[in-house]
Amino acid sequence: MKIVGHVSGSELLKGFDTVRKIIELDIGVELQLTSKILDSFTLKEYGKLRKLAQTKPITVHAPFLDLNPGATDRYVLEATRKRFEETLIAAKVLEAEVIVFHTGFHPAKIYPIYDTWLKTAIETFRYIAERSSCKIALENVFDEVPDHLERLLKELPENVGVCIDIGHLNLFSEKPIELWIEKFKGRIFEFHIHDNNGKKDEHTVVGNGTFDFDTFFKLLEKIPNSYIFNLENKRPEDVEESLRRILDD
């Protein structure tokens, strides 16, 4: 298992101080590449970030606001794919190990057009996977069940897996964490680790919410530990505290 800490796009736009603080914890970083980052950063800046991380792992979170890889509107779809392609370029310079993508699934919006959305999303992620220099991880967000991710993976190459976000599971999943891990145990590339009260996506410190971490860590003993833990807290101090708590366990 490798560990990285979250650095938001808004923090990156201010400079690299937050990246330095995470690196000083002796872990890697997950860089959130928002559209503003992709519009303003040069390849040289990505190179500086790679150098700053030294030999520690870097992962990337692709942009997702306003985007939909299964969009029926061709303009939205073109914009989504263009942003994803830009993310691939940045990830290559960063020598990222994993890129995390949102699938665009939302029950209220997608169920009425599910078959069309699924077909288009498969085409988008197949195109991205064929051009990626690193692993691709599809993240659960509003998913109540693992079925939608499972259907996507069945049609995608082996360099595409999942990022299980346990905070999102705590909010939206109708199924227990045991089922999610059992479904994807051979293709779990990353976990997003944070906590909440079961009502709001707080991204709080491990153990400060209602997620059952004791059960979670016991389940991890049964699967290969080749995954990456991204401590997806909002502040470096919270990343540090989450790190301390998971290492103590």
Q: Mean per-residue pLDDT for 99-128? A: 97
| Range 117-129 average pLDDT | 98
Res 107 pLDDT > 90: yes
Residue 224: inside a domain: no
Residue 101 lies in a domain: yes
> Which residues are bridge partners to 144 per DSSP?
none
Question: Within a 10 A sphere around the Cβ of 10, how many other Cβ atoms?
Answer: 12
∠ at Cα 66 (12, 82), nearest 5°?
Answer: 75
Task: Write down the pTM of the prediction.
Answer: 0.97
Which tens digit of pLDDT belongs to each residue from 124-141? 999 999 999 999 999 999
Give the chain's domain count.
1
Residue 139 within a domain: yes
The percent of residues in the chain predicted with pLDDT above 70, rounded, is 100
What average pLDDT does range 237-243 have in this prediction? Answer: 97
Which CATH number characterizes residue 244's domain? 3.20.20.150
Residue 249 has pLDDT above 80, yes or no: no
**What is the mean pLDDT of the segment spanning 5-16?**
97
Q: What local confidence, expressed as pLDDT, does residue 248 receive?
A: 85
Is 221 part of any domain? no
Question: Mean pLDDT over residues 141-160, rounded?
Answer: 97
75 assigned to some structural domain: yes
Structural domain including 59 reads: 2-215+229-248
Residue 220, in any domain of the structure:
no
Specify if 112 maps to a domain: yes
> What average pLDDT does range 163-172 have in this prediction?
98
Condensed to tens digits (0 to 9), the pLDDT of residues 186-238 reads 899 999 999 999 999 999 999 999 999 999 999 999 898 899 999 999 999 99
H-state helical runs in the chain: 9-14, 17-23, 35-40, 43-53, 74-94, 107-110, 114-131, 147-154, 166-172, 177-184, 213-220, 236-248
Domain membership of residue 130 (yes or no) is: yes
pLDDT at 158: 96
Residue with tokens 């002796």: 26
pLDDT value of position 224 = 87
